[in-house]
Structure 1
C-alpha cells in the first residue's frame, strides 16, 4: 500500500526544516572519539558475533523483519482510516520507549524495554521514541528519537548510539536527538493540522513523551488521538519463524531449569532457596532474567494464586507449586509444576493431581468439574449446567492466555477468537482447596495444584513447547526423589 520512495513534497520540506532545527543540537552533542557500531548501547554483530549475524538487530530477528513490522502497522492504520472514510488520511504514529526507574537515589531497577517499542525497532535505549508519519500519498517515513552520545552520561551508564547510526543499525529512516521531539511534533502538526495522532494516551509509558503530547493537545488542537495498540497486538499474536525459534528456546531453558529445581528440593528447604535455584538455572542456561516474580508456594500457600512472598519452609508431606518462566532475548516462557517435597504424593494429592492433569490433557469446557466429581470434591448431583460455576470455585482463573514477548501477551486480543497457526498460548488448569473450606472432605483441604504448559498452534496441531518438563506422576516422583 505504501510507496516509501515517493514522499510527498511537503514532507520533504518538513524534513529539511527539521534538519535545520536539529543542526544546533548536533553541534553541541558531546561524542566520544568513536561512532562505530562496535560499541553501542546493545549487542551488535561486531561486539557479539557469537550472538548476532550481520543483518540481525536482536538475536534471530533480522533488520528486514523489523522494517516489515513497521510497514504492516502503517498499512493496518491506513486501511482502518480508509474504512472510516475520514477526510484526512494523514497521521503520525508515536511509540515511546520505556524509562529508567529507580529503587532509590541514583540506584536503578533493571531496565526492561517497552515491548511495543522493542517489537517495532529492536532498540534497547531508554527515553527514546519512534515516530512514523503518513501523508496523503500513503507513503511513510520513520524517525527514531534517542538521547544521543554524551561522554559524561556514558561514563556512568555506558555507551549510547549516535543518531547518525540509526539508519545503518536499525534500518529506520532518520535519527534525531530526543531533545528535538517536541519541535518535530509541533512543526508536523502545524503543517498537517488535520492529521490524526496514533498514541496510547490513556496508558503512558514514558512521561517525557507523554507530557509533550499532552501539552500540545492542551493548546486547543482538535486532532483525533487514538491508540495503535490493537493493531500492534494483531501483528504480535502471530509469531514469525524467528520468533517461534526464540519461543522454543525460552521454553526449553525454563523446562530444564525447573527439572533441576525439583531434583534439588527436599523437606525443610525454604521457598526462597527454590526461587534462587530456578533463577540461577535459567540464567546459567542463557536467559537474561526471570520473566516475572515466580510463585514458589509450599503447602496451603499454593491456594494463593499470586503468592510471591516465597519465604516459608516447605515441610515433609507438603507439595510445592512453582510457577516460573524466563525471558530469552525478549521472549517469555511460563511453566507451572506441582511436586511432593518428600518425593511421593499422598493419596489425596495424587487424586487431585490426576484430575488436574486429565483436565489439562483434555482441554474441554466443564471437564474440570467432571473430574472433581469423580474424586468427590463436587457433588455428583450437580447438573452439567452447574458444573462450570462449581468448578470456578476451585479454579478461579482463566485456564489459558496468550504468550510471547510478554507473559500475558497481546492483552487487547480477546480469548474468544479461533486458534490460528503461529499463536502461542498457555494451558494451565488448577485446583485450589482452602484449608477452611468445610464443604469438601477434610483430607483434601489445603491442597493447591496447577499444571501449566506452553503450546504453539501449528497447521498440524499443537506443539507443546515445554514438553521436556515432565508432569506425569511417576516421572515427577522420580525427579523429586533425587534430592533426598
Structure 2
C-alpha cells in the first residue's frame, strides 16, 4: 500500500513537471515567434496568405483577387436583383439569395473525385469548402447581410480530409459578415421567412448543386407560397465582364496552355499513342503552374478529328496523319481553351495544307470582325460565309449556288458554333444569349473548323477523313481584339517547324 501511494505521488509529480515544461515550451514558442501560431490557427483548408505567401498576397482571398472585389461582387448582385424586384416584380419587400457550394462526389466507397467548386459560389465568396452555402438577405434598398454556412471543425473528418474553417473565422478570412454551421441553415431560413412574410427567394431550383440545400428549399415550398426566382442570369451577367484581376488570371492561364501545347507538338512523332500526347500536355500545364486541365482534352489523330468531342484518346497516330488537340488548363479558377491541328510527321500534305490554310484565313478574318463589337451569333454567320467561299475556291463546295445555300453548305462542314464565352468555366455564363453585342472585358473563343468524314463521297478522295480546327481565346477591348493565346503558333510554316523539331 505504501509502495502504491509512493508510485501514484511520483506519477502526479512527474505529470505536473511535464505540464509545466510543456507550458514553458509553448510560452517560449509564442514569445519567440507568435506569427507561427497565427499561421497554424489560420489554416482553413485552402491556401491563404499565411500558408501560401508565394501564391496569395495580404488581403487576397484567392490569387490576385482581394476581399474588396468579392464584397463588390456580392453588393452588385444584390443591387441588380433589388432593381429587378422593384421594376419587374413590383416588390418592395426584402428578399433572400441562396447560393450553395458543390458537394464532394465519390467514384466508389469513400474514394472521392477531385473536388471542383461550384463557380457561382466561388465567384461570390472565394471559398473552396464543399457542402457550404452563401445566403444574402436584403435590408432596405441598398443594404444587405451576408452569411456563410460551413460544415465547421470536426476532429474525425479533418483527420481524413484536412482542416475546415470555423464559423467564427468566416468574417476574418472571407469578409462575410457572419458564419454559421450548415446544420443551422434550415432553421435560419425558416425563421427569416417567418419574419418576412411573402419574401421572394432567389434560388436555382432547376440546377441542383447540393442536395441538402435543395431538399431544404423544396420542403419549405411545400408549406409556404413564397415566390421563387433563379439568380443564375444575374450572376452570369456579372461574370460576363471580367475585372482587371480576372483578365490577368486569364492571360496567365492562356500563356500556360499555349506554352504547354508548343512543348507537346515539339515532342510528338509518328507512332505516338494519343494518350501519350494527352499525358505530355497535362504534365506541361501542371509544371507551368496550372492546377489541372480545364476539361477532358480532345487528342484526335487522323479521321478521329471528325468526332468533335472525341475524348477516348487511345489510338496510334500514323505518319501521314494530323493531330487535332483541343485542350486548356485551369489556373486559380480561370480556364483557357485552345485548339491546334498539326501534321504528326512534320509536314502537311497538299490537301491538308490547303484545307488548313482555308480554316486559318477564316479564323483571322472572324477575329478581325470582333473590333466591330458584333454578337457571337453574327460572328458565326460571317464565319459560315467566309469559310464557304474558301471551300468553293478549293472545290469542295459548288460555285454555282446562292449565298443562302453557301451558308448551309458551310454549316455541314463546320456543324458547331464559332464562339462561346470563356472564364471560370470553359463554356462560361451559359444563361447569357449569344446574340448580344460583345463588350470590352468579355473573353470569347474563335474556333472555326472543317470536318470531312471518310464516307463523304461528295468531295475528292484525298480530302476525306480530314478534320481541322483552330481555336484562340480573345479579349474584347476598346482598341480591338487581343489574342490571349498569341504564344501558340498557328501559321503553316510555324506549325511545320514546331512539329518537325522532334524529327530533326
TM-score by length of 2: 0.88
Contact 2:472 2:484 in 1 (8 A): yes
Bigger Rg, structure 1 or 2: 2
Q: CA deviation at 1:89?
A: 2.4
Alignment equivalent of 1:187, drawn from 171, 185, 191: 191
Equivalent residue, structure 1, for 2:111 = 107
**1:205 alignment partner, SS class:** coil
Tell me whether 1:322 sits opposite 2:347 in the alignment.
no
Moved more, 335-344 or 374-383: 374-383
Q: 1:407 to 1:145 in 2, by over 3 A?
A: same
CA RMSD of aligned residues (A): 1.2
Higher helix share: 2
Alignment equivalent of 2:303, drawn from 300, 304, 317: 300
Distance 1:396 1:87 in 2: 44
Equivalent residue, structure 1, for 2:16 = none
Equivalent residue, structure 1, for 2:172 = 168
Equivalent residue, structure 2, for 1:453 = 472
Q: CA deviation at 1:253?
A: 0.1
Matches within 5 A, 1:114-125: 114-125=118-129
Distance 2:441 2:460 in 1: 43
Equivalent residue, structure 2, for 1:351 = 354
Q: CA deviation at 1:135?
A: 3.4
Tell me whether 1:256 sits opposite 2:275 in the alignment.
no
List per-residue Cα deviations over 1:347-382 (Å, max 9, x = no partner).
Answer: 000000000001000113410101011111111112
Alignment equivalent of 1:399, drawn from 409, 413, 418: 418
Matches within 5 A, 1:346-425: 346-363=349-366, 364-365=382-383, 366-425=385-444
Equivalent residue, structure 1, for 2:233 = 230
Distance 2:176 2:39 in 1: 17
Q: CA deviation at 1:37?
A: 5.0
Equivalent residue, structure 2, for 1:28 = none
Distance 1:344 1:382 in 2: 34
Contact 2:82 2:141 in 1 (8 A): no
Q: 1:354 to 1:169 in 2, by over 3 A?
A: same
Distance 1:269 1:99 in 2: 38
Distance 1:415 1:73 in 2: 22
Equivalent residue, structure 2, for 1:312 = 315
Equivalent residue, structure 2, for 1:441 = 460
Q: CA deviation at 1:218?
A: 1.2
Distance 2:273 2:427 in 1: 28
Distance 1:148 1:269 in 2: 49
Q: CA deviation at 1:271?
A: 0.1
Equivalent residue, structure 1, for 2:137 = 133
Alignment equivalent of 1:463, drawn from 482, 487, 492: 482
Distance 2:89 2:157 in 1: 48
**Structure 2 segments unaligned to the other structure (5+ residues):** 1-36, 367-381
Q: 1:38 to 1:85 in 2, by over 3 A?
A: closer
Contact 1:288 1:327 in 2 (8 A): yes
Tell me whether 1:286 sits opposite 2:289 in the alignment.
yes
Q: How many residue pairs end up in the alignment?
A: 451
Contact 1:349 1:447 in 2 (8 A): yes
Distance 2:264 2:91 in 1: 60
**Structure 1 segments unaligned to the other structure (5+ residues):** 1-32
Distance 2:271 2:92 in 1: 68
Equivalent residue, structure 2, for 1:475 = 494
Distance 1:136 1:56 in 2: 29
Moved more, 104-113 or 86-95: 86-95
TM-score by length of 1: 0.92
